[in-house]
Amino acid sequence: MIPSDLKKKWARFWMNLSGTSIGGRVATHLGSLFVPKYLGRIELAYLNKKGYISPNASIEHKNLTLGNYVFIGDGVKIYNARNGGRVELDDNVHLNDNIYIQTGQGGNVKIGKNTHIQPSCYLLAYKGSINIGSDVQIAPQCAFYPYDHGILPGELIFKQPLTTKGDIKIGNDVWLGFGVIILSGVTVGTGSVVGAGSVVTSSIPDGSIAVGSPARVIKTRA
């Protein structure tokens, strides 16, 4: 049995060497040997300003900017395709397991401080961008699509160009429930709550509570 204080010293030593390089990934792996998986490893993100990037996260994005103490969990994929823009994760952002972020055709992703995104969410920034504020809580299996697909007759759908009604903007202190889908051109106002399973097709004012498909405001937090 290894004493707990020795485990902490081990983790702190290796996490001080962590980072996005191959050597940094190896150090992260060694630092997490005696730490429980998933939520247990969030604590490792606070041992080094470089944060915690899971050794099996897949990051193929040259325009990725990380703030301090960022947590990137197992199976996270950050990918740049077809002239995608930037991905910016501010301080203390948590990307939990199996989140997929992809940029293409000029789209960007920006996530503000202290925003936590739970597993299996999709952020696909094509044509438009995804801008998420600070202190936002996003439940599992949410999806963000700032683009639409052409469906004109006379041409195969997969050959038709993507279009957009505008960027997706999520204000500060927003809570999105399980399985929420946000479509292009939508702004979710500061302090709003969107109920589980909702499909948001039009903007929601500050401080609102919205549910349904399409989502409708049912009351305000005030």
> CA-CA distance, 116 to 218, in Å (whole number)?
25
Give residues with Cβ within 8 angstroms of 173, minimum separation 6: 133, 134, 135, 136, 190, 191
3-state secondary structure of 134: coil
Q: Which of 13, 120, 20 is nearest to 75 (CA)?
A: 120
> CA-CA distance, 33 to 29, in Å (whole number)?
7
Q: Which of 137, 134, 104 is nearest to 121 (CA)?
A: 137
Q: Is 149 a catalytic residue?
A: yes
Tokens read off for 143: 């999806």
Q: Which of 76, 175, 90, 78 is nearest to 120 (CA)?
A: 76
Q: Which of 48, 55, 57, 53 is nearest to 17 (CA)?
A: 48
- If phi over 0 gives left and psi between -120 and 50 gives alpha, with beta otherwise, what is residue 82? left
- Please pick, among 29, 94, 116, 149, the residue that the annotation labels catalytic: 149
200: which strand partners? Answer: 182
Report the chain's C-alpha Rg in angstroms. 19
Q: Is the peptide bond before 119 cis (omega within 30 degrees of 0)?
A: no
Which are the catalytic amino acids?
149
